[in-house]
């Protein structure tokens, strides 16, 4: 069986994702669509609008055959580690190709990767600008290409990860369709995920911009997860924990523990806290990730030493057949049910993240939760 891989967040699953999925299958003539999807927190460190099981169900209802969770230690990361973690799983799952959207799919991403190899990356130490800004300035100077769109950055990251690890899957950047990444308009049926999330919050009709399963899930949504709801936990931990403990948190560096502790002591809202901590050196995405790792008390050692695994969230009949065919050849553990041992060891960070997300839902996120099985699939 030939498989195509997709790297996703589906926050939530919308018409653009459906187009991506259908195009990937048609382009590669794959028998099976394998989706590696972030869990309950996005790459930026924000809680997803609905939990990972709901989003996996949406994917399976719209043509995915196998949905595997991208562990939090790879999911809540900048583009390069996010891309590397996702492709590592897809390579182990023996996909023949990976298809992803880009604003400029015709760019020679391999040339950009080769150009980046000549940079003196450790020299990017200008504290008046973020690493990303300094990196892009160097790339423009070297190639004339400005790598600023999130989808193009991820495309670059996929090509770089494949080159560094010598993986053999084909990479297919395709033209991203519809609204821009940050566009808040619902004037097209291919609206952005951020526009859809805002519409849900505003109680605006979204039936034209999402598939039926997503529309139903969001119509039943009673609580919209957000950082303001998590802020009391973050604030209390920052106030109570000694600085000597905070400095071991993953991504905590350059005295941020002092800055965050001070901001937490006086800011009563998360937005106020975030702006009090923000400097030109750090993006909001970096700070959001740090906030999540702080609440989870995830240390540098824990995240950097984490080992990959495949947590199966759901499958169709073809997906189950594909899993069965390769289960004896995959390198990483294949987990279909989280038991007490996995909860305490391999999956402990994701288990803690699941418990944190249960502030927004009564659904158990990991322990003894069996994969979603969809044996009859609608053809797209």
Question: According to the annotation, is 45 in a ligand binding site?
Answer: no
Question: According to the annotation, is 245 in a ligand binding site?
Answer: no
pLDDT at 141: 82
Residues in Cβ contact with 112 at an 8 Å cutoff, skipping those fewer than 6 apart: 139, 143, 145, 147, 156, 159
Bridge-based pairing of strands 170-175 and 310-316 is unpaired
Question: According to the annotation, is 9 in a ligand binding site?
Answer: yes
pLDDT at 132: 74
User: Which residue shows structure tokens 């989003």?
Assistant: 55
Question: According to the annotation, is 18 in a ligand binding site?
Answer: yes
Question: According to the annotation, is 91 in a ligand binding site?
Answer: no
Question: According to the annotation, is 136 in a ligand binding site?
Answer: no
Q: With beta carbons less than 8 A apart as the criterion, state whether 71 and 85 touch.
A: yes
ω into 12 cis (within 30 of 0): yes
Question: According to the annotation, is 144 in a ligand binding site?
Answer: no
pLDDT at 134: 81
User: Which residue shows structure tokens 């990937």?
Assistant: 24
CATH topology of domain 3-104+151-224+307-374: Rossmann fold (3.40.50)
Strand partners, 311: 69, 335
Question: According to the annotation, is 16 in a ligand binding site?
Answer: yes
Question: According to the annotation, is 348 in a ligand binding site?
Answer: no
Structure tokens belonging to residue 55:
């989003």
CA distance 71 to 307: 9
Structure tokens belonging to residue 242:
């000694």
CA distance 291 to 296: 9
Question: According to the annotation, is 17 in a ligand binding site?
Answer: yes
Question: According to the annotation, is 10 in a ligand binding site?
Answer: yes
Distances (CA, A) of 91 to 83, 307, 323: 12, 15, 14
At 334 the three-state DSSP class reads strand
pLDDT at 126: 64
- Segments in the chain below pLDDT 70: 120-128, 178-185, 377-380
Question: According to the annotation, is 226 in a ligand binding site?
Answer: no
In terms of Cβ atoms closer than 10 Å to its own Cβ (0-12, 13-18, 19+), residue 316 is buried
Distances (CA, A) of 348 to 337, 344, 352, 369, 380: 14, 5, 6, 15, 37
Compute the CA torsion angle 224, 230, 231, 236 (nearest 10 deg): 160
Structure tokens belonging to residue 360:
């927004």
pLDDT at 380: 43
How many Å separate Cα 238 from the centre of its chain? 25
Reported pTM: 0.93
CA distance 12 to 175: 20
Question: What residue segments make up the domains of the chain, in order of their start?
Answer: 3-104+151-224+307-374, 109-148, 227-303
Q: With beta carbons less than 8 A apart as the criterion, state whether 174 and 101 touch.
A: yes
At 97 the three-state DSSP class reads strand
Neighbours of 294 (CB within 10 A): 23
Question: According to the annotation, is 236 in a ligand binding site?
Answer: no
pLDDT at 302: 98
Question: According to the annotation, is 13 in a ligand binding site?
Answer: yes
Helices 150-165, 109-116: crossing angle, 10 deg rounding: 70
Question: According to the annotation, is 333 in a ligand binding site?
Answer: no
pLDDT at 379: 45
Q: With beta carbons less than 8 A apart as the criterion, state whether 63 and 18 touch.
A: yes
């Amino acid at each position: 069986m030939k498989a195509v891989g997709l790297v996703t967040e589906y926050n939530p699953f919308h018409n653009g994702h459906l187009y991506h999925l259908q195009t990937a299958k048609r382009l590669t003539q794959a028998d099976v669509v394998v989706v590696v999807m972030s869990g309950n927190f996005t790459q930026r460190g924000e809680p997803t609008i609905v939990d990972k099981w709901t989003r996996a169900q949406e994917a399976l209802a719209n043509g995915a055959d196998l949905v595997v969770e991208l562990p939090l230690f790879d999911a809540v990361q900048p583009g390069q580690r996010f891309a590397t973690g996702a492709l590592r799983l897809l390579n182990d799952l023996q996909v023949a190709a990976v298809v992803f959207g880009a604003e400029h799919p015709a760019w020679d991403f391999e040339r950009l990767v080769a150009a980046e190899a000549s940079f003196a990356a450790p020299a990017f130490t200008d504290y008046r600008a973020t690493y990303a800004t300094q990196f892009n300035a160097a790339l423009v100077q070297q190639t004339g290409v400005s790598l600023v769109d999130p989808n193009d950055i991820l495309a670059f990251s996929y090509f770089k990860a494949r080159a560094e690890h010598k993986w053999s899957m084909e990479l297919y950047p395709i033209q991203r369709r519809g609204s821009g990444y940050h566009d808040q308009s619902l004037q097209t049926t291919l609206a952005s995920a951020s526009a859809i999330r805002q519409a849900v919050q505003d109680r605006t009709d979204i039936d034209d911009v999402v598939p039926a399963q997503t529309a139903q899930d969001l119509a039943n949504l009673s609580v919209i997860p957000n950082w303001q709801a998590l802020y009391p936990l973050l604030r209390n931990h920052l106030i109570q924990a000694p600085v000597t403990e905070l400095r071991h948190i993953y991504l905590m560096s350059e005295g941020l523990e002092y800055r965050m502790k001070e901001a937490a002591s006086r800011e009563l809202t998360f937005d106020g806290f975030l702006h009090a901590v923000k400097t030109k050196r750090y993006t909001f995405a970096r700070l959001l990730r740090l906030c999540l790792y702080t609440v989870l008390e995830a240390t540098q050692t824990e995240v950097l030493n984490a080992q990959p695994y495949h947590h199966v969230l759901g499958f169709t009949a073809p997906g189950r057949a594909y899993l069965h065919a390769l289960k004896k050849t995959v390198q990483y553990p294949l987990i279909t049910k989280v038991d007490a041992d996995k909860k305490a060891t391999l999956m402990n960070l994701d288990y803690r993240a699941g418990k944190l997300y249960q502030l927004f839902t009564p659904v158990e996120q990991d322990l003894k939760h069996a994969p979603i099985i969809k044996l009859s699939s609608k053809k797209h």
